[in-house]
Amino acid sequence: MCIRDSMKIAVLAKASIDPNLVEVDSANNVITEAMPLIISLYDKNAMEEALRIKERLGGEIHVLSALTWGPIDRRESEAENVLREIIAMGADNTHLIVDEGLINGDPSITSLALARLAEKLGGFDIYLAGEASMDMLSSQLPSKFAEILGIPVISFVKKLEIEDKRVKAVRSLEDVLQTVETELPAVISVTGEINQPRYTTALQIRKAFRKPINKYSLSDLGIEAVERRVERKAIKILPVERKRVKVEGESYEEMAEKLIEALIREGVIKPGG
Amino acid sequence: MKALIFGNKTQHLLELVGFAKQLKADEVHVLAVSLGEEDVKEVAELGVNKIYLIEDKDVTTDDVVDKLIELSKSVNPDVIGGPGTRDGYEITSRLGARLNIPTVTEVVGVNIEEALTLERAAIGGRAVCIEVVKPPVTLTISLGKFKPPEEKVGAAVVEKVSVEKKGKVKIVNVEEKAKGGIDIAASPIVVGVGRGFKSKEDLELAQKLANALGGAVGCSRPIAADYGWLPEDAWIGFSGKKIRPKLYMALGISGAAEHMAGVRDANVIVAVNTDEKAPIFEQSDYGVVADLYEFVPVFLDRLKKVLSK
Ligand SMILES: Cc1cc2nc3c(=O)[nH]c(=O)nc-3n(C[C@H](O)[C@H](O)[C@H](O)COP(=O)(O)OP(=O)(O)OC[C@H]3O[C@@H](n4cnc5c(N)ncnc54)[C@H](O)[C@@H]3O)c2cc1C
Ligand SMILES: Nc1ncnc2c1ncn2[C@@H]1O[C@H](COP(=O)(O)O)[C@@H](O)[C@H]1O
């Protein structure tokens, strides 16, 4: 085993489709192809945590990503562009897997590909990921990825300490805070509360465009065939039936009056209590 | 179809049995984690085959994964189901990887007519993804979606089992989270506060409004989780509480998909936001484009007059 005093850190970052810019057809199907990509919100918290570890212990940060939304010909450069946002925060190296076999694939396949990529890069001391991706919210990838690599995973971490290749982490569960310990290498999924991701300047983003992004296909990673045991049939929007009435008036008094009248009509408040 | 279900809360196990009935499972085996004999009594009466009980309170996700793998060797389940909790996501995902079978988290619906078809939450909770899976599969159910069966049929055998604790992750401390003492999910009127509020002290305004309406104050995730201005049990949304009040009044909340997933079943939604382009207006019944600091005091004043008439 080689002894390092600095840390080799991997950040798993997803180019997710933006759940706040939904496009649907007349049959309520979500047209994912028409929705823009965005870096999954909490992956920036994973990156921020990586930067803090590097600042304290030294080392290098690699961003690992797999494209899962098609069509590939258009999405490849779009994914590279959104990854710049996270690279600009301070990544040393970036690796993106682009392969038809991953499009609309399930997390089992994506985690296998990312695990093979991590192995190809010689393995890392710590892997940081988000608690859930914005689009699929599956909270599966970090756990599966860790199992494939055969290392521990600590999920939903809101506080992380590293000392002599040991991790102490506070997991935020529904009713309790659970403090756990393990040895590195390990996979950590972070909650959105663990830190406040730093802002990036326009200059940093411009510089990020000069950094190369290494690209891989599944066969580059030694994966020749993927068996699909989950077949995605459709993504259907849950229709929102709301009145969308704009309460307008010359003054706040008038608007308040109108809103109160509406709430009385709706039967949710009653005059006289 | 055979099901193996697990969980560490009676209510979750009951819902999982409800789910297994929808699968028309002919065998249901239960792993009850960190529970006592009393806790599984109700579950035992629902026509399940057997309950394996781990009474130890100090078990890790590793221990549960190991136990489920051991049990699945004898039970041979088509479906291994857990609750849609943070531990539940981790356990089923790891189990899927170890057994080399797929995992589907946050299942909200199931259809078994032709193939096993699962509906799961997607796109920030605004949509469902319909997936056909080849069993065996591991999954978590979205809590509150599947009703426990009502009929009682005998009592299943309960066998106490122990765990080996071979895992590499050790628990060193467990601390209860602070609670607000008010169950916002039970309140008929909820005033929701978001990052439009500038300080913790200012939440007083929302509390006054809630008091006048006879409701409770809930919040977006950052207010509870990032700032700690309210306890976490007031946090509404996909990863927080799902509520169904007759009135939800959102003040200074942008309307992100993950937040709105928690108020989908509200009867009437009112939004107050300075930004007329805020997504919340598309998802509300009544929208007020205004500074909450100016509008709410005026509204509260009028409201009090009307209510006391
Ligand atoms: C996996 C995942 C799970 C998540 N789960 C949840 C969840 O369960 N619940 C949840 O809430 N979020 C959740 N989120 C976070 C969510 O995406 C948003 O970041 C969050 O809901 C934003 O909270 P907000 O609306 O309070 O803040 P912002 O989005 O910052 O919105 C603040 C709003 O206040 C308005 N405003 C500002 N000043 C005023 C004023 N003076 N008067 C009136 N309006 C004003 C602004 O115009 C803005 O629209 C999740 C995210 C992810 C990725
Ligand atoms: N395609 C991907 N590429 C890189 N990282 C991913 C990918 N999908 C998920 N992740 C990581 O896993 C976390 C949880 O994602 P999910 O399991 O989809 O909820 C994300 O926050 C990312 O850190």
Say which CATH number the domain at B263 has: 3.40.50.1220
Q: Please report, to the nearest 10 degrees, the dihedral formed by the alpha carbons of residues B113, A240, A263, B185 taken in order.
A: 60
Tens digits of per-residue pLDDT, A239-265? Answer: 889 999 999 999 999 999 999 999 999
Instruction: Give yes or no for residue A227 having a pLDDT over 60.
Output: yes
Chain B residues with CB under 8 Å of A257 CB are 302
| Domain match, B301 and B197 both | yes
Which of A109, A231, A252 to mutate against chain B (most B CBs within 10 Å)? A252
Confidence of residue A1 (pLDDT cuts 50, 70, 90): very low
**DSSP class per residue in B198-215:** -SSTTHHHHHHHHHHHT-
Kindly give, in sequence order, each residue whose CB lies less than 8 Å from that of residue A3, ignoring residues fewer than 6 positions away.
Answer: none
Which pair of tokens denotes residue B153? Answer: 């049929």
Please list the pLDDT of chain B residue by residue as tens digits (309 residues).
Answer: 999 999 999 999 999 999 999 999 999 999 999 999 999 999 999 999 999 999 999 999 999 999 999 999 999 999 999 999 999 999 999 999 999 999 999 999 999 998 999 999 999 999 999 999 999 999 999 999 999 999 898 899 999 999 999 999 999 999 999 888 889 999 999 999 999 999 999 999 999 999 999 999 999 999 999 999 999 999 999 999 999 999 999 999 999 999 999 999 999 999 999 999 999 999 999 999 999 999 999 999 999 999 987
CA pair distance A215, B274, nearest whole angstrom: 44
CB-CB contact of A136 with B129 (8 Å): yes
Contact A242 B239 (CB under 8 A): no
Residues of B numbered 29-58 whose beta carbons fall under 8 angstroms of chain A's beta carbons: which are they?
none
Residues of A numbered 14-33 whose beta carbons fall under 8 angstroms of chain B's beta carbons: which are they?
17, 19-20, 22, 30
For CA atoms B49, B83, B216, B187, give the dihedral sign.
Answer: negative
| Domain match, B251 and B293 both | yes
Residue of B nearest to A255 (CA): B288
At residue A88, φ and ψ (nearest 5 deg) are -60, -25
Tell me what pLDDT residue B30 has: 98
Query: Per the domain annotation, does B172 fall within a domain?
Result: no
Instruction: Give yes or no for residue A149 having a pLDDT over 90.
Output: yes
| Domain extent at residue B45 | 2-160
pTM over 0.90: yes
Look up the CATH number of the domain holding residue B98. 3.40.50.620
Domain total of chain B: 2
Instruction: Give yes or no for residue A215 having a pLDDT over 90.
Output: yes
Residue of B nearest to A151 (CA): B168
Nearest CA to ligand 2 atom 13: A130
Which pair of tokens denotes residue A35? Answer: 């929705």
Task: Name the CATH superfamily for A7-221.
Answer: HUPs (3.40.50.620)
Nearest CA to ligand 2 atom 1: A66
Tell me what pLDDT residue A5 has: 66
**Ligand 1 atom showing the smallest separation from residue B223 Cα:** 26
| Domain match, B26 and B123 both | yes
Work out whether strand A213-216 and strand B137-141 pair parallel, antiparallel, or are unpaired: unpaired
Which of A40, A44, A139, A157 for a ligand 2 pocket mutation test, highest count of atoms within 8 Å of Cβ? A40
| Domain match, B189 and B304 both | yes
| Domain match, B292 and B198 both | yes
CA pair distance B194, A165, nearest whole angstrom: 39
CA pair distance B274, A93, nearest whole angstrom: 41
Coil, strand or helix at A182? strand
Query: Per the domain annotation, does B92 fall within a domain?
Result: yes
CB-CB contact of B124 with A226 (8 Å): no
Query: Per the domain annotation, does B41 fall within a domain?
Result: yes
Instruction: Give yes or no for residue A273 having a pLDDT over 70.
Output: no
Query: Per the domain annotation, does B177 fall within a domain?
Result: no
Residues of B1-27 as b/e, b for ≥16 C-beta within 10 angstroms?
Answer: bbbbbbbbbbebbbbbbbbbbebebeb
Tell me what pLDDT residue A3 has: 44
Q: What mean pLDDT do residues A179-205 have?
A: 96
Nearest chain A Cα distance for residue B27, angstroms: 23
Chain B residues with CB under 8 Å of A167 CB are none
Query: Per the domain annotation, does B171 fall within a domain?
Result: no
Chain A residues with CB under 8 Å of B238 CB are 137
CA pair distance B15, B21, nearest whole angstrom: 10
Nearest CA to ligand 2 atom 10: A14
Tell me what pLDDT residue B181 has: 82
* Domain end point (choices B160, B176, B208): B160
Query: Per the domain annotation, does B166 fall within a domain?
Result: no
| Domain match, B150 and B13 both | yes
Chain A contact for B178 (CB, 8 A cutoff): no
* Domain end point (choices B127, B160, B193): B160
Contact B264 A240 (CB under 8 A): yes
Nearest alpha-carbon partner for A128 in A35, A200, A50, A194: A50
For CA atoms B278, B284, B289, B292, give the dihedral sign.
Answer: negative
Chain B residues with CB under 8 Å of A271 CB are 306-307, 309
CB-CB contact of B68 with B6 (8 Å): yes
Tell me what pLDDT residue B179 has: 87
Chain B residues with CB under 8 Å of A135 CB are 122-124
CA–CA distance from B266 to each of A114, B112, B192, B247 (Å)? 40, 30, 12, 6
Query: Per the domain annotation, does B174 fall within a domain?
Result: no
Tell me what pLDDT residue B114 has: 87
Tell me what pLDDT residue A73 has: 95
Contact A268 B279 (CB under 8 A): no
Domain extent listing, chain A = 7-221, 243-273
Chain A contact for B104 (CB, 8 A cutoff): yes
**Ligand 1 atom showing the smallest separation from residue A41 Cα:** 53
Chain B contact for A240 (CB, 8 A cutoff): yes
| Domain match, B211 and B132 both | no
Phi-psi region of A101 (alpha: psi -120 to 50; beta: other; left: phi over 0): alpha
Nearest alpha-carbon partner for B180 in B212, B219, B144: B219
Tell me what pLDDT residue A2 has: 42
